[in-house]
């Protein structure tokens, strides 16, 4: 990991800038955004259409080469659009495209490049216009979708289930299993006697967690100076392994 040479007060100013961008640029594009959000590089989060509802404690990550896109494309009113629950993790490169209704429950985790859609977006025989057909998608609580997996229209994934990397989910998947492949099939059942710790369990005490992370950062950045930070740009040091 590259050493962070920023003084603590500079990093705090950076966090305030991110918060300002989210509140005055990103949030107005959403129907709702919950409290205690953690959004990284929000200028790489692309929002199109609506409604898009996001719950509390969201971890929403953007990246310059992996744009995260939340899209609702419909000429109908009073649709669900995209509804994201509390404590959800959305990694860089995720695309969620709704023509009607995609619901992602609390504590779900979406790895990089996951694609979720409730429509085929083009007809089989008439490809000149978007199709009239769509079918809602639901991810129940604590679902984990692996890197580059695709979740297709009409799919419901049950509570605690894991979808393997690169899987293509074309039909419902029950709770408490691991599914993988194209098309995705159940390959393992989770142990019913093992307790599962969710993101909500781990991060529910947001103020306590924030204080812990602040103390860690203060310790890591202790001794950093403004001059040292500028010097790291001009004369970067090779970090020791």
d(CA 120, CA 102): 14
d(CA 13, CA 221): 14
User: In the structure, what pLDDT confidence band is assigned to residue 241 with cuts at 50, 70 and 90?
Assistant: low
pLDDT by residue (tens digit) across 213-230? 777 777 887 888 888 778
The CATH topology of domain 32-194 is UDP N-Acetylglucosamine Acyltransferase; domain 1 (2.160.10)
pLDDT at position 219? 83
Assess whether pLDDT exceeds 60 at residue 1: no
Assess whether pLDDT exceeds 80 at residue 144: yes
CB 159 within 8 A of CB 216: no
Read off the pLDDT of each residue in 136-150 and give the average, rounded to a whole number: 98
How do the domains of the chain map onto residue ranges? 1-30+205-236, 32-194
pLDDT at position 209? 67
3-state secondary structure of 199: helix
Q: Which helix (H) or strand (E) holds 226?
A: helix 226-234
User: Per-residue b/e over 55-71, b at no fewer than 16 CB within 10 Å?
Assistant: bbbbbbbbeeeebbbbb
């Amino acid at each position: 990991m590259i050493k962070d040479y920023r003084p603590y007060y500079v990093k705090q100013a950076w966090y305030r800038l991110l918060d300002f961008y989210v509140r005055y640029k990103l949030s107005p594009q959403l129907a709702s955004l919950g409290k205690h959000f953690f959004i990284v590089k929000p200028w790489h989060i692309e929002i199109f259409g609506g409604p898009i509802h996001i719950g509390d404690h969201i971890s929403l990550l953007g990246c310059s080469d992996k744009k995260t896109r939340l899209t609702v494309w419909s000429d109908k009113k009073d649709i669900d659009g995209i509804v994201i629950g509390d404590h959800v993790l959305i990694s860089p490169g995720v695309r969620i495209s709704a023509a009607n209704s995609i619901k992602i429950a609390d504590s779900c985790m979406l790895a990089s490049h996951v694609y979720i859609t409730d429509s085929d977006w083009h007809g089989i025989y008439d490809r000149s216009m978007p199709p009239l057909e769509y079918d809602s998608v639901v991810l129940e609580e604590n679902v984990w979708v692996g890197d580059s997996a695709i979740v297709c229209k009409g799919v419901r994934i049950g509570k605690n289930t894991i979808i393997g990397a690169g899987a293509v989910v074309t039909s419902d998947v029950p709770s408490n299993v691991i599914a993988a492949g194209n098309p995705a099939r159940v390959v393992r059942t989770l142990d019913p006697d093992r307790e599962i710790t969710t993101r909500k369990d781990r991060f529910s005490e947001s103020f306590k967690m924030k204080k812990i992370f602040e103390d860690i950062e203060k310790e890591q950045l202790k001794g950093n100076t403004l001059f040292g930070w500028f010097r790291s740009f001009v004369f970067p040091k090779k970090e020791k392994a």
